Amino acid sequence: MDHPFLKNRHLLTIYITIWMLITGIHFVFLYFSQIDSWVWAVLDSLVFNLIFFVLGFSLWYPLEFYKNRELKTINLIINHLTLLVFTGFVWLGTSYNILYYLAVGNSGYQKFLYDSLLFRSVSGVFYYSNIVLIYYILSYYRNLQEKISTEAKLKELLKESELNFLKAQINPHFLFNSLNSVSALTLSEPAKAQEMIIKLSDFLRYVISQTEDKLEPLSKELENIQRYLEIEKIRFGEKLNFIFNLDENALNGLIPMLILQPLYENAIKHGVYESIEPITIKTDVQFENNFLKISIVNNYEASIGQFKGAGIGIKNIKERLKLTYHNPDLLTIKKTNTHFEVLLIIPQ
């Protein structure tokens, strides 16, 4: 239940400034219309306003206590009236007695003190009401900021969970495909199967060694893609070819980890698996206007017809890009009768 003025110097400065302004107005009013002596005008304005300044500062604590107890409206009104009477009694009693005893021998000012008690009581209600209103506004604002902060943290946790879920879907997909490839070569070509296992272990080592950071340098991701393609090359031989045209300026760009993997899986699944002719997967990477542009194109046999559903691959990539960059339009697909292209635009 820390006081907001103790945590925020700007609020404390504003509070002191308002007090000084009210004290100045109080002085001007007394000196030019009520009291001939500027000394007593100064003392009157300082004592009354300084004491209420201290009382007003301390009002935050009972108000926070009331708020945390979630009282009914009628009980809250009763508590405010009680606090108002108590604050007013302390304020008027303390201020009046201090000034009355300071003014011993000045019967004119003592009479003015007595005659102005009713007016000061009304002004005390005004002071109290405004201070309470300010504190309620501050309390509301503080709660709103805490709510916004909490919602932001919850959204971030949800985002993390969704990203981890999507990655968890993609990684087994690749692993199962690779293990199937190894299994197919174990008896027929054990040397190639051993080579694939080594390359697969390199891939898994790369994945496991990653930190919790969402983004990785493009160069590392492409190294991993080359491992994957080399694994599949062992199985398919001359039927699979791949070309990389890379802009050197783009290699240090950052992309979501494993975001490219499903695209190459789809190219092999829908191109190489279903074709009897050689298939070439061509990757072009450019860095333009602070964006990474990654184009992955593969040919396919027109006789195969329409691609079947791409499974979770394309869908997950779109979701990950949307979650990471808050933009649903960073992936586009272009298809002709002989070529299939996926274009990713990654903001930097």
- Residue 24's pLDDT is 92
The average pLDDT across 184-207 equals 81
Write the pLDDT tens digit of every residue in 310-347.
455 788 788 888 878 888 889 999 988 889 999 999 99
How large is the average pLDDT for residues 83-90?
Answer: 92
How far is 1 from 304, CA to CA, in rounded Å?
A: 70
The model's pLDDT over 112-153, given as tens digits with 9 standing for 90+, comes to 989 999 989 999 999 999 888 888 888 888 888 888 887 777
Residue 280 lies in a domain: yes
**Count of domains in the chain?**
2
Report yes or no: 269 and 307 within 8 Å, Cβ to Cβ.
no
Amino acid, res. 43: L
CB-CB neighbours of 238 under 10 Å: 7
At 332 the pLDDT is 93
Structure confidence at residue 230 (pLDDT)? 87
Tell which of 115, 144, 176 closes a domain.
Answer: 115
Residue that terminates a domain, selected from 87, 115, 143: 115
What's the average model confidence in pLDDT over 23-43?
89
> How many angstroms from the chain centroid is the CA of residue 79?
39
More confident residue, 261 or 110: 110
Phi and psi angles of residue 297, each rounded to the nearest 5 degrees, phi first:
-125, 135
Give the three-state DSSP class for 70. Answer: coil
Between strands 331-335 and 279-288, the pairing is unpaired
- 182 and 263 co-located in one domain: yes
pLDDT category of residue 204 using cuts at 50, 70 and 90: confident
Burial 2-28 (b: 16+ CB within 10 A, else e): ebbbeeeeeeeeebeeebeebbeebbe
SS3 297: strand
One domain, residues 51 and 165:
no
- Whether 227 and 264 have beta carbons less than 8 Å apart is answered as no
- Residues 318, 191: one domain? yes
Q: What is the pLDDT of residue 142?
A: 81
Same domain, 308 and 188: yes
97 and 216 part of one domain: no
> 28: domain range?
4-115
Tell me 64's DSSP state: H
171 and 315 share one domain = yes
Tokens of 260: 């490219």
